[in-house]
C-alpha cells in the first residue's frame, strides 16, 4: 500500500504551497485555516514489470492462463491503448505485455496476429511513438506487412457495428481472441476504455458522456449506469476479450523535479536550491522552453499487473487505485482551490490551452470524487492558469476555431450541436486527424461539455492570473491574486468560507465523508 | 470729404441702377470669389446680365457646370424664385463655353469684363503660372477688344475691364504700398516666353539617360522585389513628379531673383502690367484683394468654399500639429472677408474710370483695422481652447504655445526633426519585421507626414508671416463712402467695420472647422478600418451564380511563419551526420548575408540560390520525408487565423489558391486546404534526383499577378471580386491584381503601401509550440 494521503490545515508554520498552473508552477501562501488535501505517496513500491506481466498472463484474475485460449489457426488481435500515458523510461510496460503475448501466441502456433494501437479521437500514434511504446522489435516485425495498425475512427472501410449504436474497428469483430493492453494510474472501466479508443467517431460522439474523456477517473455515480454505459458493456461482452492492465505509480515529474510531487516541508536543501533555479528559469524562459522543462518524461514505474475478463480487471484496478489515489475528507468545502497540472491526456507536447485547463479543473479535478462533490453546490472554484488563448495549430486544430467562432456565440453545449456536427464533418480537421496526428475536430466540444457539466455544479469559477477576455469568453471570472479571487467569491460564499486546496498533481480522488 | 479729391471715380446712385442693362462677362465663376459675385448679381442686381465664361470639364459641358453651380445652397432663394436652376439660367444668365487662354468670341454687347479666374496655388509650375496670369489675361482682353471692334476696325463701345489681382503683387517691397501700378521694368512678354520655354527644357532634361537612371535606381530601391513593371511604373511616376518639382522650383527662383516671394505673385504682377498695356485705350480697374477668407455677412456669416490660405494652418494648429510658426509676432496678417471683396469688386464694376488711366483698389484690412500675428494666434488659441476638436481615443490634442522665436530657430528645429526622421526611416528599413517595427514605422510615418506638412506650409507662408507690407486703401474707402445709403447694408466693404475677435471666433473658425468636425464624427461612427477585409458570411448564398471568385494566399509569413532557408534546413539536416550538419549550417550562415542582399535585389534569384542546394536530393524521398517527419513542423507554424480565413473562403464557395515560391513538396501538408497550389517545382534527373534547378521560374512578384490574371481569364473568375492575402512588399503586384487585397502582418514597405491604398491590414499570429530550432526527426 501507498503512504496515505492526508489533509493539512494551514497554520502559522505552513510554508507557501506549490500550485501548478499548466506550463508553470508557483509557491502560493494560503490563508490560515484552509484545508490542503495531499494525495497518497506511491513512491518506492514498484515491482519488476517483466516478471509481473509474466505472472499475470500465467494466472488470470479468473484463474485461467492466457495460453489456454491460444490455439493454432485463431485470429488474434492485440489492442494497445492508453496512448496518452507517456512511454516509460527504458522498456514500457505495454511493450512487455505485447512481447509476452506475442511470444505465447507464437508458441501456440497462432499465425494471424494483428497489433492495433488505438487512441480514439486522439492523435493517431506516430511511428516514433509506436517505437517508444511497443519497442523496435514489435514495430519492425509487424509494420512491414501491415500487421501493426493504428486505429482510424474515420476509416469507414475498417469500422463495423458490433452492437446497436456501437461501431468498432472491424478487426475486433473478426477476431477469435482480443487481448486489450492498457496501463494507467487510475481504476477506470476497461470496457469504456476499449470502446473509447477503438470505436468510430460517430460512436464516440453518441456515447461521449458514458465513455468519459478522462479514463483515469473511475466513472462515479448514476451517469455510468445510463443507457450509454449499457450499450458499451453489451458491445464489449460480445467480444472474445482478455484485458491486461498495468497500474502505474503516481510519478508525474521528470526525475530532477520529482520533489515537486512531494510535500513542501520534506524538500531537501538541494531540492530547495533546484526550486530556486527552476523559478528563475521559468521566469525568463519562453513558453516553449518552460514546457520542455516541466513536460520532460517522468520515470513512471509499474505497481501491479493483472489479466482477465474486463469486468474482473475493472474491479481489480478500481480497488488498486483506491489505495493510490483516494483521500478521505470531512464534509464539503465552500471554496475549492486547485491548480492545473502540466500534463493532461490532451496536451502531449503542447501547451495547456484554456480549454484543456478548464477541463482539467472542472472536468477532471472537480469530478474526481467517490460520491459527494468536494465543494458544496453553489460554492466557488478558484483555479490557477493564465488562460492565454493560444492553441496548437497542429495538435488541436479545431480548438482555436472553437474558441473564436463557437464560444463567442454561446457557452451552452446544447446550442452547439449544429456546430459540433459541422466540426465533425470538416474536411480539414478530418485530414489532420487521419494523416497528421491531430485530435479530431470534435474534441473541444467534448471538453466543453465536461467543463459546463462541472461548472453547473458550482457557482463562481475564478481564474487567478488569467487573461480576462479569455476567462470572460468562457463564462468565468479572472482575478490577479488568490486574495482577490477570495474577495470576488465572498459575494456568494461569504467572508471566512471553508477553503479546500487539492494539492495536485499527482492526481487524487476525494472521498467526502459526513462532517 | 475735405481731402483733395482722389483720382478715383465714385458712385452716383444705387448699384442696381448703375449696372442695370449691362452685360458683365465673368470668368472664374466656379471659384470661390466668382461664385459669390454671381450670387450677388442674381440677388441684388436684377437688371444686370452675367455672361459666364466657363470651361467644360471632362464630359460635363459648361452649361451643365453652371446648372450644378446654381443648385448650391446659396442660390436656393434665387432658384426657387425662378422655378428651378434651369429656369434661373434661362432667365438671367448667358453661358460662354471656353477656356483660358483659348478664349472664344465674346458677345458684342458686353459692357464689363470681370476677370477673376486664377490659380488657387501659390506654387504652381512656372508654365502654368504664366499661362494663367499673363497669356490667359492677354487672350481674354484681346477677345474683349475684338468683340467691341467692328469689321472696319472701329470700336463700337468702350468696355470696362475689371481685373482681380492680389495685394501681394507688391512682392518683397516693404512699407506702404500705394494703390497704383508697381514700378518695375520687367517685360511681361519676354518673361512669359522664357518661362514657357522652361517646360520643354525640363521635360527634355527629365528624359536624359542620367536622369532616368537616377530615377530608376530610386524606384528600384523601393520596388525591385516586386518586379520590372512595378518599378517602371514607379519610375515614370517619379519622372513626372520631378518635372513638376523642377518647374515649381524654376518659378519660385525666378520670382525671387526679381524680388517677388513666389511665382504666383510674380506672374500676377506681370499680369497687371499686361492689363495696363493692352487696356491702354479702354476703361480699366484693378482690384487687389489681400488674404481672402470667409464672409462676414453675405450670403451668410462664415460662407467659404474649400480651404484657402490660412485654413490648413488653423486646422493644423487646432489638431496640435503646428508646434511653432516662423512669423514675426507684430507683422500684420492682412485678412479680408470674402463678401467685402465681392462688394468692392461690384462697386468697381459700376464705376466709370477714365479711358487710359487704370484705377487700382486694395481690398484689405491692414490699413485701418490691422490684425497682428500675435493677435491672430491669441484669438485662434482661445477659440480652440473653448471648442477643441474631439481627439478620438486619446482626447483632444494639446495646443502648442507659440513663442515666435523667429524664422531661423523654427527652421533649425524643423531641419533637426527632418534629419532625425530620415535617419529613423533608414534604420527601420533594416530591422527585421515585427509588430513593434510596424508600430514604430507607422509612428514615424505620422511624424514624417507632419514634418512634410510643416515644411510645405512654412516654406510657402514664411514670407507672408514676416511681411512688412502696408497696403493703403484710400481708393477703396472713397468708393465705399460713395455708396448710396440704401446700398450700404448689402454692399458694405469698409474693412474697419468689424472686430477681429468676433470675426475669427464666431464666424471664421466655426465655419472652417465644421466640415472637419462632421468628418471626424462620421469617422468615429464608422470606425477607421478600411474594408478590403470583407465579411464572407453572406457570400455562400450566391455561390454558383455569376463569375467565380478566388482567394489567393501567399505562404511564407502569411499562412505560415517560416522561410525558405528554415524549411531547407529542416529537410536536409536530419539526414546528415553531426559533422556534416555543422558544416551545412556553417556554410549557410556564411552565405546568409549574401542571400539577404540578393533577396533585397531580386527574390527570384535568392530562391534559386537556396534551391540550388537541393541538388542531389531524392525527390520521392523528400516528399516522403515531408509527409512523415516535416508535416508536424510545418503545421505547427501554420497560423490558425489563416486557416480559418481560408476555410471561410471555401465555405463561401471561393476558389482558394496558394501562390508561393517555396518548393512544392513543402506544401503537401497544406494541400487539403487549397483548390490550387502553385509552387516551385524542383527539376529532377532520370533517377528522380533533384538537379538543384527549378522546372520553371519561381512564382514571385509580378509573375503572381500574371498567373492570377491568366487563371481568372481561363476559369471565368472575376478578379475585382476576388481576394488576396500576403505579407511582404514583393507581393504588391499580386495584391494589386484583385479587388480585395489584405496585408497580413506586413513588412514596413507593404504596410505603407496598404495604408496609402486603403487596404485592410490584419495580424495573423502563429504560436508555434515547438522550439524554433528543433529539427524534424529522421529515422
DSSP single-letter state for residue B225: G
Helices (H), B45-135: 62-70, 76-82, 85-92, 126-130
616-635 of B, contacting A, C-beta below 8 A: 627-628, 631-632, 635
Residue B20 lies in a domain: yes
The verdict on B590 and B685 lying in the same domain is yes
Query: CB-based contact (8 Å) between A408 and chain B?
Result: no
| B690-694 vs A509-513, strand pairing mode | unpaired
The answer to whether residue B7 sits within a structural domain is no
Grid cell in block for residue B347: 462697386
Q: What is the pLDDT of residue B392?
A: 64
Statement to judge: residues B623 and B572 lie in one domain: yes
Q: How far apart are CA B743 and CA B754, in angstroms?
A: 7
Q: How far is CA A79 from CA A52, A114, A151, A392, B741, in A?
A: 19, 8, 9, 28, 52
Q: Is B637 on the interface with A (CB under 8 A)?
A: yes
Kindly give, in sequence order, each residue whose CB lies less than 8 Å from that of residue B247, ignoring residues fewer than 6 positions away. B125, B126, B127, B128, B198, B199, B202
Cβ-defined contact of A436 to B631 (cutoff 8 Å): yes
Cis ω before B101 (30° cut-off from 0): yes
- Spell out where A185-340 has E strands: 241-248, 302-308, 326-330, 333-338
Q: Tell me, yes or no, whether B292 lies in a domain.
A: yes
Q: How confident is the model at residue B688 (pLDDT cuts 50, 70, 90)?
A: confident
CB-based contact B49:B84 (threshold 8 Å): no
Containing B634, the helix (H) or strand (E) segment is helix B631-636
Quote the CA–CA distance of B36 and B351 in Å, as a whole number: 20
Nearest by Cα to A320 from A120, A52, A73, A515: A52
In a domain, B130, yes or no: yes
Q: Cα–Cα distance between A338 and A381 in angstroms, integer? A: 8
Give the per-residue pLDDT at B361. 92
Partner A contacted by B385 (CB < 8 A):
no
pLDDT tens digit sequence for B249-301: 999 899 889 988 888 889 999 999 999 988 888 999 999 998 888 888 888 88
Which of B290, B463, B466 has its CA nearest to residue B369?
B290
| Grid cell in block for residue B9 | 471715380
pLDDT band of A216, cuts 50, 70, 90: very low
Question: What element of type H or E holds B43?
Answer: helix B32-44
In 3-state terms, what secondary structure has residue A80? strand
Q: Is A23 helix (H, G, I), strand (E, B) or coil?
A: coil
pLDDT at A222: 38
Query: What is the reported pLDDT for B601?
Result: 64
Q: Which three cell numbers stand for residue A358?
A: 478548464
Check pLDDT > 90 for residue A215: no
pLDDT digits (tens, 9 = 90+) for A380-413: 999 999 998 888 888 898 998 899 889 999 989 8
Residue A113 CA to residue A108 CA, distance in Å, equals: 12
Residues B61 and B121 in one domain: yes
As given in the structure block, the three cell numbers for residue A218 are 473511475
Residue A385 to residue A397: CA distance in whole angstroms: 21
Q: Is the pLDDT of residue B663 over 50?
A: yes
Task: Answer yes or no: do B182 and B102 share one domain.
Answer: yes
Contact B106, B147 (CB under 8 A): yes
Residue B528 binned pLDDT confidence (cut-offs 50, 70, 90)? low
Beta carbons of B640 and A127 less than 8 Å apart: no
Q: What is the pLDDT of residue A219?
A: 44
Q: Which helix or strand (DSSP H or E) is residue B741 part of?
A: strand B740-744
Instruction: Give the model's pLDDT for residue B760.
Output: 87
Q: Is residue B531 part of a domain?
A: no
- Tell me the mean pLDDT in the region A89-99: 90
Residue B386 included in any domain: yes
Q: Do B129 and B185 lie in a common domain?
A: yes
Peptide bond into B299 cis (omega under 30): yes
Residue B778, pLDDT score: 46
Grid cell digits, residue A443: 474534441
Whether A454 contacts A362, CB under 8 Å = yes
Do B341 and B222 fall into the same domain?
yes
Q: Are B644 and A400 an interchain contact pair (Cβ–Cβ within 8 Å)?
A: yes
Residue A417 to residue B562: CA distance in whole angstroms? 36
Please list the residues that pair with B115 across neighbouring strands.
B27, B163
Which of the two residues, B169 and A2, has the higher pLDDT score?
B169
Please say whether the beta carbons of A94 and A193 come within 8 A.
no
What's the CATH code of the domain at B695? 3.40.50.1000
Q: Which residues of B touch A127 (CB under 8 A)?
A: 628, 779
Contact between A404 and B644 using a beta-carbon 8 Å cutoff: yes
Contact check, Cβ <8 Å, A431/B672: yes
Contact B644 A431 (CB under 8 A): no
B550 & B618 share domain = yes
B463 and B612 share a domain? no
For residue B413, the distance in angstroms to the closest alpha carbon of chain A comes to: 42
- Asked if omega into A506 is within 30° of 0 (cis), the reply is yes
- The whole-angstrom separation of Cα A351 and Cα B655 is 34
Are residues B318 and B202 both part of a single domain?
Answer: yes
Mind listing the pLDDT tens digit for each residue in B579-606? 777 787 787 777 777 776 766 666 677 7
- Contact residues on chain B for A437, CB-CB shorter than 8 A: 632
Confidence of residue A220 (pLDDT cuts 50, 70, 90): very low
CB within 8 Å: A289 and B766: no
Cβ proximity of B594 and B608 under 8 Å: no
Annotate B716-768 with three-state secondary structure: CECHHHCEEEECCHHHHHHHHCCCEEEEECCCHHHHHHHHHHCCEEECCCCCC
The answer to whether the Cβ–Cβ distance between B771 and A397 falls below 8 Å is no
> What would the mean pLDDT of B647-663 be, rounded to a whole number?
87
Domain holding B233, by residue range, is 15-493+500-524
- The residue-averaged pLDDT of B26-48 equals 88
What's residue B773's pLDDT?
52
Least reliable range by pLDDT among B276-290, B332-346, B561-575: B561-575
Q: In chain B, which residues have their Cβ closer than 8 Å to the Cβ of A395?
A: 769
Nearest Cα residue to B682 out of B666, B669, B670: B666
The answer to whether the Cβ–Cβ distance between B640 and A397 falls below 8 Å is: yes
Percent of chain A at pLDDT exceeding 70: 97
Q: Is the pLDDT of residue B777 over 60?
A: no
Is A207 a residue whose pLDDT tops 50? yes
Contact B628 A127 (CB under 8 A): yes
* Chain A touched by B779 (CB under 8 Å): yes
Give contacts of B639 with chain A, Cβ < 8 Å: 393
Question: Following DSSP, what letter does each residue of A386-449 receive, concatenated?
Answer: -------TTT-HHHHHIIIIITTT---GGGGHHHHHHHHH-HHHHHHHHHH----TTHHHHHHH
**Which of helix, strand or coil describes residue B625?**
helix
pLDDT for residue A1: 57
pLDDT higher than threshold 90 for residue A337: yes
| Top-confidence residue, A90 or A31 | A31
Measure the CA–CA gap between B363 and B177, rounded to whole angstroms: 12
pLDDT of residue B772: 52
Chain B interface includes A390 (CB < 8 A): yes
* CB atoms A392 and B766 under 8 Å: no
pLDDT of residue A444: 93
Q: Is A143 on the interface with B (CB under 8 A)?
A: no
Q: Can you tell me the distance from the alpha carbon of B19 to that of B157, in angstroms, rounded to the nearest whole number?
A: 16
Task: Mark yes or no for CB contact B779/A127 under 8 Å.
Answer: yes
A393–B767 C-beta distance less than 8 A: yes
Q: What percent of chain B has pLDDT over 70?
A: 92
β-pairing verdict for B723-726 and B690-694: unpaired
Give the nearest partner residue to A393 out of B643, B672, B771, using CB atoms: B643
* pTM for this model (two decimals): 0.73
Query: Taking CB atoms and an 8 Å limit, are A428 and B643 in contact across chains?
Result: yes
- Chain A contact for B651 (CB, 8 A cutoff): no
> A439 CA to chain B: closest CA distance, Å?
13
In 3-state terms, what secondary structure has residue B474? Answer: helix
Closest by CA to B319, choosing from B404, B375, B396, B417, is B396
Q: What pLDDT does B728 receive? A: 85
The dihedrals phi and psi of B235, each to the nearest 5 degrees, come to -60, -45
The verdict on B488 and B545 lying in the same domain is: no
The 10s digit of each residue's pLDDT in B500-522 is: 899 888 888 888 888 888 887 77
Q: Kindly state the cell numbers that stand for A332.
A: 464539503
Q: Is A393 within 8 Å of B638 when comparing Cβ atoms? A: yes
Residue B572 has pLDDT above 60, yes or no: yes
Please check whether residues B87 and B219 belong to one and the same domain.
Answer: yes
pLDDT value at position B779? 40
A404 touches chain B (CB under 8 A): yes
SS (H, E, C) B675-717: CEEEEECEEECCCCEEEEEECCCCCCCHHHHHHHHHHHHHHCE
B260: closest CA among B125, B169, B189, B191?
B169
How many C-beta atoms lie closer than 10 Å to residue B428's C-beta? 16
Total domains present in chain B: 2
More confident residue, B739 or B404: B739
Least confident of A296-305, B309-318, B648-657, B665-674: B309-318
Residue B202 inside a domain? The answer is yes
Cβ neighbours for A287, distance < 8 A, ≥ 6 positions apart: A23, A351, B769
Residue-level pLDDT at B285 = 92
Mutate to test the interface with B, among A289, A293, A394, A396 (most CBs of B within 10 A): A394
More confident residue, A432 or B526: A432
Q: Are residues B136 and B241 in the same domain?
A: yes
Backbone angles phi, psi at B562, to 5 degrees: -165, 180
pLDDT digits (tens, 9 = 90+) for A458-470: 999 999 999 999 9
The three cell numbers of residue B3 are 481731402
Q: Is residue B224 situated within a structural domain?
A: yes
- The minimum CA-CA distance between A62 and chain B, rounded to whole Å, is 43
B760 Cβ neighbours under 8 A, 6+ residues apart: B529, B530, B531, B532, B533, B742, B743, B754
Q: Which of A340, A338, A440 is nearest to A399 (CA)?
A: A440
Cell of A11: 497554520
Ordered by where they begin, the domains of chain A are 6-33+331-513 (3.90.226.30), 49-248 (3.40.50.11440), 254-297 (no CATH)
| Secondary structure, 3-state, B147-189 | HCECCCCCECCCCEEEEECCHHHHCCCCEEECCCCCCCCCCHH
H helix and E strand count, chain A: 18, 19
Gap between the Cα atoms of B693 and B685, Å rounded: 10
Task: Say what angle helices A417-425 and A443-457 make with each other, to 10 degrees.
Answer: 150
Q: What is the mean pLDDT of residues A146-162?
A: 90
pLDDT in tens, B746-773: 888 888 888 888 888 888 876 666 555 5
| Cα B532 versus chain centre, distance | 22
CB pairs below 8 Å between A and B: how many? 68
What's the CATH code of the domain at B235? 3.40.50.720
pLDDT for B29: 87
Amino acid at each position: 500500500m501507498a503512504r496515505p494521503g492526508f489533509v493539512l490545515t494551514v497554520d502559522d508554520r505552513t510554508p507557501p504551497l506549490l500550485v501548478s498552473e499548466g506550463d508553470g508552477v508557483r509557491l502560493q501562501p494560503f490563508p490560515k485555516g484552509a484545508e490542503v488535501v495531499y494525495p497518497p505517496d506511491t513512491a518506492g513500491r514498484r515491482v519488476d514489470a517483466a516478471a509481473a506481466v509474466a505472472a499475470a498472463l500465467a494466472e488470470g484474475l479468473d484463474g485461467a492462463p492466457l495460453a489456454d485460449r491460444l490455439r493454432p489457426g485463431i485470429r488474434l488481435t492485440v489492442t494497445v491503448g492508453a496512448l496518452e500515458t507517456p512511454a516509460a523510461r527504458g522498456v514500457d510496460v505495454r511493450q512487455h505485455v505485447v512481447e509476452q503475448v506475442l511470444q505465447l501466441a507464437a508458441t501456440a502456433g497462432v499465425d494471424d496476429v494483428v497489433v492495433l494501437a488505438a487512441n480514439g479521437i486522439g492523435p493517431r500514434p506516430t511511428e516514433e511513438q509506436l517505437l517508444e511504446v511497443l519497442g523496435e522489435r514489435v514495430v519492425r516485425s509487424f509494420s512491414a506487412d501491415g500487421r501493426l495498425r493504428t486505429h482510424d475512427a474515420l476509416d469507414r472501410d475498417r469500422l463495423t457495428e458490433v452492437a446497436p449504436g456501437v461501431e468498432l474497428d472491424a478487426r475486433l469483430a473478426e477476431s477469435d481472441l482480443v487481448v486489450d493492453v492498457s496501463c494507467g494510474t487510475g481504476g477506470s472501466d476497461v470496457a469504456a476504455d476499449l470502446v473509447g479508443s477503438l470505436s468510430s467517431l460517430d460512436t464516440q460522439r453518441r456515447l461521449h458522456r458514458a465513455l468519459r474523456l478522462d479514463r483515469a477517473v473511475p466513472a462515479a455515480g448514476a451517469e455510468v449506469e445510463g443507457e450509454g454505459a449499457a450499450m458499451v458493456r453489451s458491445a464489449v461482452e460480445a467480444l472474445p476479450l482478455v484485458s491486461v492492465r498495468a497500474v502505474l505509480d503516481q510519478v508525474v515529474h521528470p526525475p530532477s523535479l520529482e520533489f515537486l510531487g512531494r510535500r513542501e516541508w520534506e524538500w531537501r536543501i538541494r531540492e530547495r536550491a533546484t526550486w530556486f533555479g527552476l523559478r528563475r528559469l521559468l521566469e525568463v524562459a519562453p513558453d516553449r522552453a518552460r514546457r520542455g522543462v516541466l513536460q520532460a518524461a517522468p520515470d513512471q514505474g509499474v505497481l501491479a499487473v493483472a489479466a482477465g475478463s474486463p469486468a474482473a480487471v475493472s474491479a481489480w484496478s478500481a480497488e488498486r487505485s483506491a489505495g493510490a489515489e483516494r483521500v478521505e475528507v470531512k464534509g464539503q468545502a465552500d471554496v475549492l482551490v486547485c491548480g492545473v497540472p502540466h500534463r493532461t491526456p490532451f496536451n502531449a507536447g503542447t501547451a495547456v490551452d484554456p480549454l484543456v485547463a478548464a477541463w482539467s479543473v472542472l472536468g477532471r479535478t472537480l469530478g474526481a470524487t467517490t460520491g459527494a462533490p468536494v465543494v458544496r453546490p453553489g460554492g466557488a472554484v478558484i483555479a490557477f492558469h493564465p488562460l492565454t488563448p493560444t492553441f496548437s495549430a497542429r495538435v488541436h486544430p479545431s480548438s482555436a476555431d472553437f474558441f473564436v467562432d463557437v464560444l463567442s456565440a454561446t457557452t451552452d453545449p446544447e446550442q452547439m450541436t449544429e456546430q459540433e456536427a459541422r466540426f465533425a464533418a470538416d474536411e480539414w480537421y478530418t485530414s489532420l486527424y487521419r494523416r497528421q496526428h491531430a485530435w479530431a475536430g470534435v474534441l473541444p466540444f467534448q471538453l466543453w461539455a465536461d467543463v459546463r457539466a462541472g461548472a453547473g455544479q458550482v457557482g463562481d469559477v475564478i481564474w487567478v492570473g488569467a487573461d480576462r477576455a479569455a476567462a470572460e469568453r468562457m463564462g468565468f471570472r479572472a482575478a490577479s491574486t488568490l486574495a482577490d479571487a477570495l474577495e470576488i467569491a465572498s459575494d456568494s460564499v461569504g467572508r471566512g468560507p471553508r477553503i479546500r486546496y487539492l494539492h495536485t498533481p499527482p492526481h487524487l480522488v476525494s472521498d467526502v465523508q459526513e462532517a | 470729404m475735405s481731402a483733395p479729391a482722389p483720382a478715383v471715380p465714385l458712385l452716383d446712385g444705387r448699384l442696381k441702377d448703375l449696372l442695370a442693362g449691362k452685360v458683365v462677362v465673368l470668368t472664374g465663376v466656379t471659384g470661390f470669389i466668382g461664385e459669390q459675385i454671381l450670387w450677388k448679381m442674381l440677388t441684388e442686381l436684377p437688371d444686370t446680365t452675367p455672361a459666364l465664361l466657363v470651361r467644360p470639364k471632362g464630359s460635363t459641358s459648361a452649361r451643365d457646370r453652371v446648372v450644378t453651380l446654381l443648385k448650391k445652397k446659396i442660390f436656393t432663394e434665387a432658384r426657387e424664385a425662378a422655378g428651378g436652376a434651369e429656369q434661373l439660367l434661362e432667365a438671367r444668365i448667358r453661358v460662354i463655353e471656353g477656356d483660358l487662354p483659348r478664349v472664344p468670341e465674346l458677345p458684342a454687347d458686353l459692357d464689363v469684363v470681370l476677370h477673376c479666374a486664377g490659380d488657387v496655388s501659390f506654387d504652381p509650375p512656372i508654365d502654368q503660372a504664366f499661362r494663367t496670369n499673363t497669356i490667359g489675361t492677354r487672350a481674354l482682353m484681346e477677345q474683349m477688344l475684338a468683340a467691341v471692334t467692328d469689321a472696319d476696325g472701329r470700336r463700337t463701345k468702350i468696355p470696362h475691364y475689371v481685373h482681380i489681382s492680389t495685394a501681394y503683387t507688391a512682392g518683397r517691397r516693404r512699407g506702404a504700398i500705394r494703390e497704383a501700378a508697381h514700378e518695375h521694368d520687367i517685360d511681361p512678354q519676354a518673361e512669359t516666353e522664357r518661362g514657357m520655354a522652361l517646360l520643354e527644357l525640363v521635360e527634355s532634361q527629365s528624359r536624359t539617360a542620367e536622369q532616368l537612371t537616377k530615377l530608376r535606381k530610386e524606384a528600384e530601391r523601393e520596388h525591385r522585389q516586386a518586379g520590372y513593371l512595378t518599378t517602371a511604373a514607379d519610375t515614370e511616376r517619379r519622372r513626372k513628379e520631378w518635372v513638376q518639382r523642377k518647374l515649381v522650383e524654376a518659378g519660385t527662383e525666378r520670382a525671387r531673383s526679381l524680388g517677388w516671394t513666389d511665382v504666383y505673385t510674380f506672374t500676377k504682377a506681370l499680369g497687371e502690367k499686361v492689363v495696363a498695356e493692352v487696356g491702354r485705350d479702354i476703361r480699366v480697374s484693378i482690384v487687389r484683394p489681400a488674404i481672402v477668407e470667409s464672409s462676414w455677412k453675405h450670403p451668410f456669416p462664415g460662407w467659404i468654399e474649400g480651404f484657402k490660405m490660412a485654413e490648413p494652418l488653423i486646422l493644423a494648429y487646432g489638431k496640435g500639429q503646428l508646434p511653432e510658426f516662423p512669423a514675426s509676432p507684430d507683422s500684420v496678417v492682412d485678412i479680408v472677408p470674402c463678401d467685402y471683396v465681392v462688394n468692392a469688386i461690384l462697386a468697381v464694376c459700376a464705376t466709370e474710370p477714365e479711358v487710359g488711366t487704370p484705377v487700382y483698389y486694395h481690398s484689405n484690412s491692414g490699413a485701418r483695422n490691422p490684425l497682428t500675428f500675435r493677435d491672430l494666434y491669441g484669438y485662434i488659441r482661445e477659440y480652440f481652447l473653448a471648442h477643441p476638436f474631439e481627439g478620438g481615443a486619446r482626447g483632444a490634442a494639446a495646443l502648442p504655445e507659440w513663442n515666435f522665436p523667429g524664422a531661423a530657430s523654427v527652421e533649425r528645429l524643423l531641419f533637426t526633426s527632418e534629419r532625425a526622421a530620415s535617419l529613423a526611416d533608414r534604420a527601420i528599413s533594416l530591422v527585421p519585421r515585427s509588430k513593434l517595427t510596424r508600430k514604430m514605422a507607422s509612428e514615424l510615418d505620422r511624424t514624417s507626414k507632419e514634418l512634410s506638412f510643416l515644411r510645405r506650409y512654412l516654406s510657402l507662408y514664411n514670407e507672408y508671416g514676416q511681411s512688412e507690407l502696408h497696403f493703403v486703401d484710400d481708393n477703396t474707402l472713397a468708393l465705399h463712402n460713395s455708396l448710396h445709403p440704401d446700398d450700404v447694408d448689402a454692399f458694405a466693404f469698409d474693412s474697419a467695420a468689424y472686430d477681429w475677435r468676433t470675426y475669427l471666433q464666431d464666424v471664421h473658425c466655426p465655419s472652417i472647422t465644421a466640415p472637419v468636425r462632421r468628418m471626424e464624427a462620421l469617422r468615429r461612427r464608422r470606425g477607421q478600418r478600411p474594408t478590403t477585409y470583407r465579411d464572407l458570411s453572406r457570400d455562400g448564398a450566391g455561390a454558383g451564380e455569376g463569375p467565380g471568385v478566388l482567394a489567393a494566399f501567399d505562404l511564407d509569413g502569411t499562412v505560415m511563419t517560416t522561410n525558405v532557408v528554415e524549411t531547407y534546413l529542416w529537410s536536409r539536416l536530419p539526414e546528415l551526420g553531426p559533422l556534416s550538419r555543422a558544416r551545412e549550417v556553417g556554410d549557410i550562415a556564411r552565405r546568409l548575408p549574401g542571400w539577404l542582399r540578393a533577396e533585397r535585389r531580386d527574390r527570384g534569384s535568392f530562391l534559386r540560390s537556396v534551391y540550388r542546394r537541393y541538388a542531389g536530393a531524392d525527390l520521392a524521398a523528400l516528399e516522403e520525408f515531408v509527409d512523415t517527419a516535416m508535416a508536424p513542423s510545418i503545421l505547427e507554424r501554420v497560423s490558425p487565423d489563416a486557416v480559418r480565413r481560408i476555410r471561410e473562403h471555401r465555405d463561401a464557395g471561393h476558389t482558394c489558391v496558394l501562390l508561393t515560391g517555396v518548393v512544392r513538396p513543402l506544401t503537401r501538408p497544406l494541400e487539403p486546404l487549397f483548390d490550387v497550389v502553385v509552387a516551385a517545382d524542383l527539376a529532377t534527373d532520370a533517377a528522380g534526383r533533384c538537379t538543384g534547378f527549378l522546372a520553371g521560374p519561381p512564382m514571385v512578384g509580378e509573375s503572381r499577378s500574371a498567373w492570377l490574371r491568366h487563371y481568372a481569364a481561363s476559369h471565368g473568375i472575376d478578379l475585382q471580386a476576388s481576394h488576396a492575402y500576403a505579407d511582404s512588399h514583393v507581393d504588391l503586384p499580386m495584391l494589386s491584381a484583385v479587388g480585395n487585397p489584405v496585408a497580413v502582418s506586413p513588412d514596413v514597405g507593404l504596410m505603407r503601401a496598404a495604408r496609402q491604398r486603403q487596404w485592410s491590414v490584419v495580424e495573423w499570429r502563429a504560436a508555434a509550440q515547438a522550439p524554433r530550432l528543433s529539427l524534424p526527426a529522421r529515422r
